[in-house]
A = this chain, B = another copy of it.
């Protein structure tokens, strides 16, 4: 499994979206041996998981594990509860005060906790997470303050805290980048964004809606980067729509 023992091991949280794909590419460019971790958590569709699998292979992850966790048990989000509709064409896309219904309670806390468990077993001290506070300011667990606090907690939670064998570091390489900057950086590092999936509400053929927050941030990012998004959208005039905003 270990191709190069000189490489430091890292856990990389991988969702199948473009932020985490770019984060994986950045971790690889820093010579980390990447152990990718994806969660199957009662999403509306499995396209994200398939995208994560393709991205892990294409970017040379050493290993990729997919863990089942049942966040539907608690509900409370449009991403885990079919009774809550995914909002479309929201006016307040970038309003920091508003927490979208697509927010999943304590999701990143749970994801980082699992990453920490795996890191501890592997003897890795580096965890990469593609949180982004610029485009997703409405999600409390995408902010630097949360990540710094989790890192402190991780260093108290684990055997290494007692033995002094090392210190955990949570890497958030894209936290302050705009979506356009992320796409430009990833493109430089060879990320194939046609493998990634962002839509919260794709149709049965896997085409993205182009209207949920995630699609709109993605389209806006590609437009600002001056690059073409090569995934398929349900609506034909989506480019015109995103340009007119």
Residues of chain A having any CB pair with chain B under 8 Å: 65, 67-71, 73-76, 97, 99, 103-110, 112-114, 116-118, 120-121, 138, 140-141, 143, 145-146, 149-150, 152-154, 156-159, 161-163
Contact status B97-A162, CB under 8 Å: yes
Cα–Cα, bound, A10→B120 (Å): 30
Q: How far is the CB of A65 from chain B (nearest CB, A)?
A: 6
Cα–Cα, bound, A108→B161 (Å): 14
Contact status A158-B105, CB under 8 Å: yes
Residues of the B chain whose Cβ atoms lie less than 8 Å from the Cβ of A154: 106, 109
Contact status A153-B158, CB under 8 Å: no
Contact status B121-A117, CB under 8 Å: no
Contact status B117-A71, CB under 8 Å: yes
A sample of 13 more A-B contacts (CB under 8 A), given A107-B117, A110-B117, is A97-B162, A105-B116, A105-B158, A106-B154, A106-B157, A106-B158, A140-B159, A140-B161, A141-B158, A146-B156, A149-B149, A152-B152, A152-B153
